[in-house]
Amino acid sequence: MSASEGFWAFSVRIYGKPDVPPACLDLQNDYGLDVNLLLYCCWLGTHGVKLDAATLERALAFANPWAEHVVRPLRQARTWMKRDGGARGQLPPDAYTELRESIKAIELEAERLQQLALELMTNPPTPGPAVENEAASCASVNLELYVSEAGLTPDADMRMHLAKIINASTGVGPAQDAAQLAAVSRSGERSTDG
C-alpha cells in the first residue's frame, strides 16, 4: 500500500485478492454488514487510524441510507435479472445482457461514490502506512466497533471472515489475525441469531 492510496484504490486492490470476495459477501449476506464499511475499517487501519464512535456514527448515518436507497436496489435489479430474468424471453438477449451490465456499472459507481463520501468524511488519514501489526490492530479495533454498532456478536464464521479481510488488508497472517480478533469476539450486545 502506498501512503497516498485512496479508499477506492485500496478496495479494488484488496477485493481482488482470492479470499476477500467470498468473505465480504458472506458477511454481507449472512450478517447484514456493508462491504464498503468493512473495507473502510481496514483502510483506516492500514493508515494507523482507529475509528471513534462519533466518526463511525457519521459514517453509518450516510452509508446506511445510501446503501438502502441506492446501492441495494441496483444490486437487487441486477441480481434478479441474472437469476430469474422474467423479461429475458421478451427481449433480445444482447439487449437484456447490455442492460444488466449497465446496471452493474451504475451499482459499482454508486459504491465508489459511497466510498468517496466516507473518505472525505474522515479527512483522508494523514498518518503514513502503519506497520503490519499496528495496521492489523487498528483494523481489528475498527471492525470490532462496527460489528458492535451493528448489534452483532461475532461467531466463529464471522471471525474467520473478518480475519481473512484483515490478512488481505494488512499482510498479517491467520495466526496473528486470530489474536487480533480475540477482542472482536467480545463485542456486541445481541447474538446474530436474534
The residue length of the chain stands at 194
Query: Cell numbers at residue 92, please?
Result: 433480445
Please tell me which residue, 127 or 192, carries the higher pLDDT value.
Answer: 127
Query: Cell numbers at residue 163, please?
Result: 480475519
Assign residue 119 a region (left: φ > 0; alpha: ψ between -120 and 50; beta: otherwise): alpha
Contacts of 63 (CB under 8 A, 6+ apart): 34, 36, 37, 114, 117, 118
In terms of Cα–Cα distance, which of 27, 47, 63 is closest to 142?
47
C-alpha pair distances (Å), 193 with each of 30, 37, 110, 148? 10, 21, 30, 14
Residue with cell 424471453: 89
Q: What's the pTM value of the predicted model, to 2 decimals? A: 0.84
pLDDT(186) > 50: no
- Count other C-beta atoms under 10 Å from residue 71's C-beta: 21
Query: Cell numbers at residue 134, please?
Result: 499496528
Tell me what the pLDDT averaged over the chain comes to.
Answer: 85
Domain definitions of the chain by residue range: 7-186
- Count other C-beta atoms under 10 Å from residue 67's C-beta: 20
Kindly indicate the confidence band of residue 167, based on its pLDDT and cuts at 50, 70 and 90: very high
**At how many degrees (to 10) do helices 20-31 and 7-15 cross?**
100
pLDDT tens digits for 81-138? 888 766 777 888 888 889 999 999 999 999 999 999 999 988 755 556 666 678 999 9
pLDDT(191) > 50: no
Q: What integer pLDDT is reported at residue 89 of this predicted model?
A: 75
Element (H, E) at 36: helix 35-46
